[in-house]
Every structure is written in C-alpha cells, then in structure tokens.
Structure 1
Amino acid sequence: MIEIKDLHKSYQMGSNSLHVLKGINFSVKEGELVSIMGSSGSGKSTLLNILGMLDEADTGSYFLDGMPIKNLNEKIAAKYRNQFLGFIFQSFNLITYKNAIDNVALPLYYQGIKRKERIEKGMHYLSKVGLADWATHLPNELSGGQKQRVAIARALASEPKVLLADEPTGALDTKTSYEVMELIQGINDEGKTILIVTHEPDIADMTKRIVNLKDGVIIDDTIVKQVKAAAYV
C-alpha cells in the first residue's frame, strides 16, 4: 500500500540546511494499523506531510497503492489526496459555520457527487461513528470527542485507501482518547489501512506496529501485541 525508499528531506534555514529525514525506508501493507512515534524534531511530522502529499522529498521514492508520488502539481496532488487519503487532525479542522453532516459530506463535493448522494453517504458515516442524531449541530455545539468523531466520519466519507491521523487524541482527555481509539481500531478491523502519528505511548500501544523515529532515521520498527481500547472505555 505504501512503499518509501531512501527518503531524504532538508529545509533551508537562512544560510544553513536542516537535514530532517535521512534515508527513510518504510513500507505499510494494506490493513495495517501503524503508529509513528518520536520526540519533537524527530521528523515524524515531515514524514506524515510527505505521505499526505502536502510536501515532497528531495530524493528517494514514494509509491502509494502502486502509484509513484513524484513531481505532482498542486491540482494533481489535491486530486490524489481526495482519491487515496483521509486526514484526521488533532485540532479537528471542522468548518465552524457548517453543521456535522455538511462537514462530513464536504470531500464528496470535490469528487463531483450530487448533494442528495453526498448527504446520504454523509449520514451513513455519521451513523457509523454514532452521531446520526447530531447531524444538524454545528461544531461549537459538540464536545471534543464528538468533533473528532465527525472528523473521522469526514475522513471516511471519500472511501480513501489510507487514513493519516496526526495526533488524533492530542486535544482530548484520556477517557475520550480511548473512545476515539476504540473507533479507530474498529475501522482498522474492517480492513482500513491507518497511520497514526502520536507522542503518547498508551495510544501507540493500541496500534499493531510501532515505528520510532529519532533525528530523521527509523531506530525501531516493531510489530506489537495490540492493547484493545475497549478494555479502558
């Protein structure tokens, strides 16, 4: 599903160059649930941005579902993101003046799907995350956990190949974090490929594989016995 070989990325900082990723080799099979861990400055956010086609490596190769991701203009990158990827953010990134159902249906608008079908699919995914009764509520009427559930439903609505979650529990309390992880585990159990960037060891333990980054290199990549979030909810 994801294949990265010898990935390097540097940023120019004034007269200096900051080498952030230093030869990353990394692959993810379809249906995996992987956490990427590392301290600030380890390169995990840069790696996620490259995986999400929000940034591009200097050298190396990136294949997503067999397709080379290289030298894409913004229009093509946006098309591929909408086709292949669903994003879940720490800050939810919901549109404040749109209700839950319209937030969930938004990616379908960019796929050219008619409004009636968008709403039907949006309701399906809101129901999937347990929020069908909150469809007409605005984000400011929802709790943090509910907002993240809406964001997960939105990420699923376009039926992406891969979900990329950037600190999806970072803005939530412990109980709500585990509820969100229970939902994510359930989605993965249905076969969806999911990558989670996190700095929280207990959240990483709820995935099936932990990749540790330090100073731009992978120092450890281990398949782990998954802790089920349901045990803590």
Structure 2
Amino acid sequence: MIDIKNLHKSYHMGKNSLHVLKGINFSVSEGEMVSIMGSSGSGKSTLLNILGILDEADEGTYTLDGTLIKNLNEKVAARYRNQFLGFIFQSFNLINYKSALDNVSMPLYYQGVKRNVRTEKAMHYLEKVGLADWASHLPNELSGGQKQRVAIARALASDPKLLLADEPTGALDTKTSYEVMELIQGINDEGKTILIVTHEDDIAHMTKRIVNLKDGLIIDDSKVTQVRAKAENYV
C-alpha cells in the first residue's frame, strides 16, 4: 500500500536549511493499522504531509497503491488525494455552515457523483458512525466526539485506499477518545488501511504497529499486541 525509500526533506529559510527527514525507509501493507510517534521536531508532520500528497520529498521515492507519487501538479495531486486518501484531523475541519450530511458528501461532490447517489452514500456512512439522526445538524450543534465521527464518515465516503489520521483524539476527553478509537479499530477490522499520527502512548497501542521517529529518522518500528478500545470502562 505504502512504500517509501530513502526519503529526504529539507526546508530553506534564507541562507539556512533545516534537514527534517534524513533518509526514511518505511512500508505499510494493505489492511495494516500503524501509528507514528515522535516528539515535536521529529519529522512526523512532514512525513504525514508527504504521505497525504500535500508536500513532496527532495529525494527518495513514495509509491502509493502501486502509483509513484512524484512531480505532480496541484490538479493531479488533488485528484490523487481524492482517489486514494481519506483524512481525519484533530480539529475536525468541518464546514460550519453545512449539515453533517453535506459535510460527509463533500468528497463525493468533488468526484462528480450525482446528488442523489452522494446523499445515499453519505447517509450510509453517517449510519455507520451512529449519527444518522444527526444528519441535518450543523457542526456547532454537535459534541466533539460527534464532530469527529462526522469527520470519519466524511473520510470514508469516497472509499479511500488509505485513511490518514492526524492526532484524531487530540481534542477529545479520554472516554470520547476511546469511543472514536473503537470506531477506527472497527473500520480497520473490515480491512481498511489506517495510519495514525499520535503523541498519546495509549492510543498508539490501540494500533497494531508503532513507528517512532526522532530527528528525522525512524529509531524503532515494532509490531505490538493491539489493545482494544473499551469506552465503557470510562465514566
């Protein structure tokens, strides 16, 4: 699904250059659930941006589902993002003046799907995350956990090859975080490939593999015994 070889990325600021990624070798197979951890400045956000086709490496190769991601103009990059990827963000990134249903159907709109089909698909995914009854509600009428569920439904709506989750529980309390992780684990159980960037050790151990970054290099990459999220343990 993901194959990265000798990835380097630097940012130039005036006469200075900051070498952020220093030769990353990394692969993810279809159906895996992987977390990426690292302190601020470790390079995890830069790596996520490259994986999300939001930035491009200076050196090395990135292959996504058999497609080499290189030298893309913005139009092609946007098409690949819509075709391959679903994004889940810490801040939800919902459109405040659109209903939950309209937010979920947005990726389908950009794919040119007809209104009745995208409404049907959006409702299907809202049902999947337990929010069918909230389809007409605006984001400001939803709790944090409900907003993240809408964001997950939106990420799934276009049936992406890969889900990229950037601190998906970072803005949530523990009980709600575990509810969201229960949902994400269930999606992975159905075969979806998921990559989660997190700084929370308990969340990382709810995945099946933990990759640790430090100073632009992978210092550890280990499979772990997955801890199943159980929100009912928290009140």
- TM (normalized to structure 2)? 0.98
The corresponding residue for 1:146 is 146
Distance 2:106 2:99 in 1: 11
The corresponding residue for 2:72 is 72
Distance 2:146 2:41 in 1: 30
Give the 3-state SS of the residue equivalent to 1:187 in structure 2.
Answer: helix
* One-letter code aligned to 1:22: K
Give the 3-state SS of the residue equivalent to 1:229 in structure 2.
Answer: coil
Equivalent residues, number: 233
Give the 3-state SS of the residue equivalent to 1:160 in structure 2.
Answer: coil
Correspondences of 1:82-121 after superposition (within 5 Å): 82-121=82-121
The corresponding residue for 2:22 is 22
How much identity, in percent, do the aligned residues show? Answer: 84
Distance 2:31 2:142 in 1: 31
Distance 2:200 2:93 in 1: 21
The corresponding residue for 2:170 is 170
Distance 1:14 1:85 in 2: 33
Distance 2:141 2:230 in 1: 26
Q: Which runs of 5+ in 2 are unaligned?
A: none
Give the 3-state SS of the residue equivalent to 2:230 in structure 1.
Answer: helix
Residue 130 of structure 1 deviates from its aligned partner by 0.2
The corresponding residue for 2:4 is 4
| Cα deviation 1:23-43 (Å, max 9, x = unaligned) | 000000000000000000000
Distance 1:137 1:228 in 2: 31
Residue 15 of structure 1 deviates from its aligned partner by 1.1
Distance 1:186 1:206 in 2: 11
Residue 14 of structure 1 deviates from its aligned partner by 2.0
The corresponding residue for 1:203 is 203
* One-letter code aligned to 1:144: G
- TM (normalized to structure 1)? 0.99
* One-letter code aligned to 1:220: D
Q: Which runs of 5+ in 1 are unaligned?
A: none
| Cα deviation 1:44-103 (Å, max 9, x = unaligned) | 000000000000000000000010000000000000000000000000000000000000
* One-letter code aligned to 1:96: N
The corresponding residue for 2:58 is 58
* One-letter code aligned to 1:161: K
The corresponding residue for 2:135 is 135
Residue 230 of structure 1 deviates from its aligned partner by 2.3
Q: CA RMSD in A?
A: 0.7
Distance 1:13 1:220 in 2: 30
| Cα deviation 1:158-215 (Å, max 9, x = unaligned) | 0000000000000000110000000000000000000000000000010000000000
Residue 13 of structure 1 deviates from its aligned partner by 1.8
